[in-house]
Structure 1
Amino acid sequence: MLKAVKMSHETEKEVPMQSVSLDIWDKKYRLKTKQGECLDKTMDDTYRRVARALADAEDTEEKRALWYEKFVWALRRGAIPAGRITSNAGALEHKPATSTINCTVSGTVEDSMDGILEKVHEAGLTLKAGCGIGYEFSTLRPKGAFVAGAGAYTSGPLSFMDIYDKMCFTVSSAGGRRGAQMATFDISHPDVTDFIKAKREAGRLRQFNLSCL
């Protein structure tokens, strides 16, 4: 008969952090002032900052205290929240424009110049806050389709994806964190072959993961 083995406090061993782990924590997740002063003096300070922010969602002081201890316990034993939570939870005073949401989904990219550029603007603000974002680009008419209002032919969804790609690169370069974008495309769209082959072109759509629907 199998029995659970309870490890005593005395037999628990702390695994030392590797230097690369400490470097990543310092550069990506450690809370600092804009002058570069470290507010999280140790990794345990980061754990306690995150635990406090998560526990503060509770509606009574008793519950907040209870869940603070539970979250600290879990974090010290290897529970790893999403990156934006570790970086931004409890950091509102120093990073008011950031988010604790890792992944978001764009609204529909409308098949018009206004619709396309509106979503570029929204995506730029989303990426600035540290979130990743996904889009569905097969809502746009195929390459070579006539645009009555402009009296010309459209360059197709892939050319507009290039705009999103450059925007993401620019925003992430300024913020120090690589932007994360997902582009999806319906396999029934006439330009699906171009979509599939797009990243074979050197340097193209490097800020995107691509997926067919």
Structure 2
Amino acid sequence: MSTSEQDPHVHKSFQTQHPHHQETAVTDTLYDEKHETTPARGLTIARVFTTEGVHPYDEVTWEKRDVVQTNWKTGEVVFEQQGVEFPSSWSLNASTIVTTKYFRGALGTPRREASLKTLIDRVVGKYQSTGWAAGYFATERDAEIFGEELTWLLLNQYFSFNSPVWFNVGTDAPQQVSACFILSVDDSMESILNWYREEGMIFKGGSGAGLNLSRIRSSKELLRSSGGTASGPVSFMRGADASAGTIKSGGATRRAAKMVVLNVDHPDIEEFVETKAREEDKIRALRDAGFDMDLGGADITSVQYQNANNSVRVSDEFMQAVNDGTKFGLRARTTGEIIEEIDAKELFGKIAQAAWECADPGLQYDDTINDWHTTPESGRITASNPCSEYMSLDNSSCNLASLNLMKFLRDDDSFDAEKFIKAVELIITAMDISIVFADFPTESITQTTRDYRQLGIGYANLGALLMALGKGYDSEGGRALAAAITSLMTAAAYRRSAE
């Protein structure tokens, strides 16, 4: 019997619209038509990486280290924690990142974490206990094996969760686990101020957010209330930029991450395109005048628009106009009528010039993105997260995890596909479990994420793997290997969802 047949309260999207749905994990029990509870059929977890009777921590050599960070300009010590415990195989760089970014508790207090064991136990313990309580596993012993396997993978650097997991899971803070959020904003002051608030709460939890500003009327349109001219989205970007620059993401020394997107047919598109390039001119002038304009410098905060990635959302229609050298219409937000025509090729040249000068704006191909939409009946995709790997619905979030491909390279230069598949199955299970206990900043994000369960499993070290195998990054062999690994990872994750 399918989940939907057993429980009429299960949202349709769980079975038909998102492949990462864990059928047996919707609730602790499933309900039949008589409202009698029946045990959920959970997963049986076989050992792959661990050994029965041997804890993963007992398989490695541990050592104490002192982690010290200094200001690169002055030499002043900006962070110090002595006697932290890590496996001897971990690099100094890895232990420094974990100690400075992920250990929780105030320095110098008993609550301060000082061992990788404590950190991993805090996180894995939450996944294991929630997975068992929510019916993911056939027996409690399966849950315990799952926890040990997950611990082994993290301890041996086979994968990592995204940073919000390390920041928040198992602490007293809200259990924000998603690194990536997509928000929405409408053409009203209430909505714009709500955008500022939502972004601030997301940054506080250690995550990033993106949104499309194209619903906000342009500076070339009138306000209904007063008859005056609207401010336009670029002006409202200033407030959001200042907020992002003020809030340290996750309470750590980590810059907030944000993305702002504007459709290419918005009347303020040219101002948007050139905004960051103009600010870069200011940076160069101020640096030449003796001001400290380095990243994190004392004077850099006086320059605007430095806390977001900007992207132009282009359509096939616009790209065809660029190709044909024809005019392209910019449309009023309130009426949809064309209020100005521009030379498409000239605008495209401005986009390219600005990107050459300051690496912004990027391009997002709206029609292509929506052609690849996995749940098109749910609405259009209009924006992305700050890094642009997550394209999905407005008011949604995505939890990320990344596998280290170099760990699956055997001594004979073959790729261990069998262990890679098993690792993917364990990790995608953990990621799905996180949606059960996760906290989200708004009700709409909570609903969308639990309905569609967006999970971003991926990999790192592809470049290192190709170099180790002597394959060119832009070679047929390199692309074929990357495609095979990606396909295998995707299929393994989808299959585990079906199980």
The Cα of 1:35 is off from its aligned counterpart by 6.2
Alignment check: 8 A CA contact 1:30 1:38 kept: no
**Residue equivalent to 1:6:** none
What SS does the aligned partner of 1:111 have? coil
What SS does the aligned partner of 1:184 have? strand
Alignment check: 8 A CA contact 1:138 1:185 kept: yes
Unaligned runs of 5+ in 1: 1-11
User: Is 1:100–2:173 an aligned residue pair?
Assistant: no
**Residue equivalent to 1:142:** 218
> For residues 173 and 82 of structure 1, what CA distance do their matches in structure 2 show?
13
**Residue equivalent to 2:240:** 164
Larger Rg: 2
User: Is 1:205–2:305 an aligned residue pair?
Assistant: yes
**Residue equivalent to 1:65:** 144
Greater shift, 34-43 or 177-186, is seen at 34-43
Unaligned runs of 5+ in 2: 1-59, 62-86, 134-139, 281-302, 314-499
1:84 to 156, 159, 164: 164
> For residues 225 and 209 of structure 2, what CA distance do their matches in structure 1 show?
30
What SS does the aligned partner of 1:58 have? helix
> For residues 167 and 236 of structure 2, what CA distance do their matches in structure 1 show?
32
Alignment check: 8 A CA contact 2:238 2:305 kept: yes
User: Is 1:184–2:261 an aligned residue pair?
Assistant: yes
Corresponding letter in the other structure for 1:67: F
What SS does the aligned partner of 1:152 have? coil
The Cα of 1:98 is off from its aligned counterpart by 5.3
Q: Relative contact order, CA 8 A, sep 6+: which one is greater? A: 2
> For residues 167 and 87 of structure 1, what CA distance do their matches in structure 2 show?
21
Partner deviation per Cα, 1:58-110 (whole Å, 9 max, x = no partner): 1353232121111001111211111111222222x3xx23512111111x311
The Cα of 1:48 is off from its aligned counterpart by 2.4
The Cα of 1:208 is off from its aligned counterpart by 0.5
Change (3 A) 1:98 1:169: farther
Change (3 A) 1:37 1:210: farther
Using structure 1 for the length normalisation, give the TM-score. 0.82
> For residues 98 and 130 of structure 1, what CA distance do their matches in structure 2 show?
11
What SS does the aligned partner of 1:153 have? coil
Greater shift, 131-140 or 39-48, is seen at 39-48
User: Is 1:31–2:131 an aligned residue pair?
Assistant: no
Aligned-residue CA RMSD in angstroms?
2.6
What SS does the aligned partner of 1:52 have? helix
Change (3 A) 1:173 1:86: closer
Alignment check: 8 A CA contact 2:219 2:230 kept: yes
Aligned length: 200
What SS does the aligned partner of 1:206 have? coil
Higher-strand-fraction structure: 2
> For residues 155 and 126 of structure 2, what CA distance do their matches in structure 1 show?
16
